[in-house]
C-alpha cells in the first residue's frame, strides 16, 4: 500500500503525519553510460530531497544530465549507484507513486486514442469503470479540457496536447509529478498558461512536483526550491530557496526585486557550471 492507492484526483494527498518529512529522497545517485567508446560518468553523487507539496525545479547547462537524473527518479533506468526513495521506500523500477509528463507530447500520447482514452490508459485494469471515469473527468476538468473528450491528440494544439499529458499524470493519482522540460516546445503565451496550470495543479492536489527546465525565469517562477546541476560528471552545485509562497502571478512575481536577484544568481551559477564543463571536456574513460 502506498499513499497513491488512497487518493483520487482533486482531493488532497493524505501524507504521512510529518509534513516536513521528505517525500522523495535522491541519495548519492551516480550514473554512468556505457557506450562503444567506453564508460562515461554523467552524474556523481547527486543528493537532494523533495517535501510533500513542494515544487522543485532542476536546472543546469545543456547536456549536464538533467534527463538522466529524471529517468533515474522515474525508474525508467537504474542508477549506477545510490538510491531513490519515495515515501520511505526505495524504488526498483517505475512506481505507482510517480506520474510522468514527457517533453515530447506528440510522441507520448497515443494518436489513435481519444483524449479520454489517453487519460484513462494508465488506469485500465486497476479500478472499476465508475472510478476510472470519475478520475478522468476530474483530471480533464483540472487542466481545462472539458469539451474535448472525444478529440484525438493530433486535432489539438501543442499546448492542449500537453494538457492531455498532464491530465494523464494527474489521473494516475501519484503523490509526485515528474516533468522533463514539459513546456519547451510551445509558444510563449501557451507556456505561461501551462506554468500557471502546473502551479494550480500543485496547489489543488497537493502533489509534489519535480520539473526540469532550461529556462531560468521559469524555474524561479515555479519553484519553491531550485536544484542547480553542474560539472562533468554533474553534481548538485547549489540549492536555492525561492521565497514567493504558493500563489504567484506572471507579471507581479516576475517584477519583484527578489526575482531579479535570484535570476542573476542562478544565471551566474549556470554560466560557471557550463564554463567548467567545456573546460574539462574529454571525460571519456576507457573501460
119, HSE (Cβ side, Cα atoms, 13 Å):
34
Q: Percent helix, strand, coil in the chain (nearest 5)? A: 40, 25, 40
Residue 245 touches which of ligand ATP, Mg ion, another protein, none (Cβ within 5-8 Å per kind): none
In whole angstroms, the minimum distance from the beta carbon of 61 to another protein comes to 24
Residues 64 to 123: which contact ligand ATP by CB under 6 A?
A: 64-68
Contact status, residue 44 vs residue 234, Cβ threshold 8 Å = yes
Q: Write down the residue that cell numbers 515515501 correspond to.
A: 87
Please identify, using beta-carbon distances, which residue of 90 and 284 lies nearer to another protein: 90
CB 56 within 8 A of CB 48: yes
Per DSSP, the three-state class of 55 is strand
State in angstroms the smallest separation of the CB of 183 from Mg ion.
Answer: 13
Q: Decide whether 149 or 193 has the Cβ nearer to another protein.
A: 149
CA distance 258 to 244: 9
Write 62-65 long-range contacts (CB < 8 A, 24+). 62/214, 62/274, 63/277, 64/229, 64/230, 64/231, 64/232, 64/234, 64/273, 64/277, 65/31, 65/229, 65/233, 65/234
Binding mask 63-92 for Mg ion (x = CB under 5 A): ----x-------------------------
The residue among 22 and 153 lying less far from another protein, judged by its C-beta, is 153
Could you tell me the smallest distance in angstroms from the CB atom of residue 111 to another protein?
Answer: 5
Selected binder of ligand ATP within 14, 63, 94, 246 (CB under 6 A): 63
Residue numbers of the site for another protein (CB under 8 A)? 74-76, 93-96, 98-100, 102, 104, 107-108, 110-114, 121-122, 124-125, 152, 154, 168, 172
Give the side-chain half-sphere CA count within 13 A for 113: 17
In the complex with ligand ATP, the residue whose CB is nearer, 104 or 204, is 104
Options 56-64, 104-112, 119-127, 267-275: segment touching ligand ATP (CB under 6 A) = 56-64
Cα–Cα distance between 142 and 158 in angstroms, integer? 18
In the complex, the smallest distance separating the C-beta of residue 21 from ligand ATP, rounded to whole angstroms, is 29
Query: Which among ligand ATP, Mg ion, another protein, none contacts residue 260 (Cβ within 5 to 8 A by kind)?
Result: none
Ranges of beta strands (E only) in the chain are: 24-35, 38-50, 55-59, 81-86, 89-90, 98-101, 176-180, 208-212, 225-230, 235-241
How near is the Cβ of 228 to ligand ATP at its closest, in Å?
12
Determine if 203 is a binding residue for Mg ion (CB under 5 A): no
Which residues of the shown chain bind Mg ion in the complex (CB under 5 A)? 67
Which residues of the shown chain bind ligand ATP in the complex (CB under 6 A)? 33, 35, 42, 60, 62-68
Amino acid at each position: 500500500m502506498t499513499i497513491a492507492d488512497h487518493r483520487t484526483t482533486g482531493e488532497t494527498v493524505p501524507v504521512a503525519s510529518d509534513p516536513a518529512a521528505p517525500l522523495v529522497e535522491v541519495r548519492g545517485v551516480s550514473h554512468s553510460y556505457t557506450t562503444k567508446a567506453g564508460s562515461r560518468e554523467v552524474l556523481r553523487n547527486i543528493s537532494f530531497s523533495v517535501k510533500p507539496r513542494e515544487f522543485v525545479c532542476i536546472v543546469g547547462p545543456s547536456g549536464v544530465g538533467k534527463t538522466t537524473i529524471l529517468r533515474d527518479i522515474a525508474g525508467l533506468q537504474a542508477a549506477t549507484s545510490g538510491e531513490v526513495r519515495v515515501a520511505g521506500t526505495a524504488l526498483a523500477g517505475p512506481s505507482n507513486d510517480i506520474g510522468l509528463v514527457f517533453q515530447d507530447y506528440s510522441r507520448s500520447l497515443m494518436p489513435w486514442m481519444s483524449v479520454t482514452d489517453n487519460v484513462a490508459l494508465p488506469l485500465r485494469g486497476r479500478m472499476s469503470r465508475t472510478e476510472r471515469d470519475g478520475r478522468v473527468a476530474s483530471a480533464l476538468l483540472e487542466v481545462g479540457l472539458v469539451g474535448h473528450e472525444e478529440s484525438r491528440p493530433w486535432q489539438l494544439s501543442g499546448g492542449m496536447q500537453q494538457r492531455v499529458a498532464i491530465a494523464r499524470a494527474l489521473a494516475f493519482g501519484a503523490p509526485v509529478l515528474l516533468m522533463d522540460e514539459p513546456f519547451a516546445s510551445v509558444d510563449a503565451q501557451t507556456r505561461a498558461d501551462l506554468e500557471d496550470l502546473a502551479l494550480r495543479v500543485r496547489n489543488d492536489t497537493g502533489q509534489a512536483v519535480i520539473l526540469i527546465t532550461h529556462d531560468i525565469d521559469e524555474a524561479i517562477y515555479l519553484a519553491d526550491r531550485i536544484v542547480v546541476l553542474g560539472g562533468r560528471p554533474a553534481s548538485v552545485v547549489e540549492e536555492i530557496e525561492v521565497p514567493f509562497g504558493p500563489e504567484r502571478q506572471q507579471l507581479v512575481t516576475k517584477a519583484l526585486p527578489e526575482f531579479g536577484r535570484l535570476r542573476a544568481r542562478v544565471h551566474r551559477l549556470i554560466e560557471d557550471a557550463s564554463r567548467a564543463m567545456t573546460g574539462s571536456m574529454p571525460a571519456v574513460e576507457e573501460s
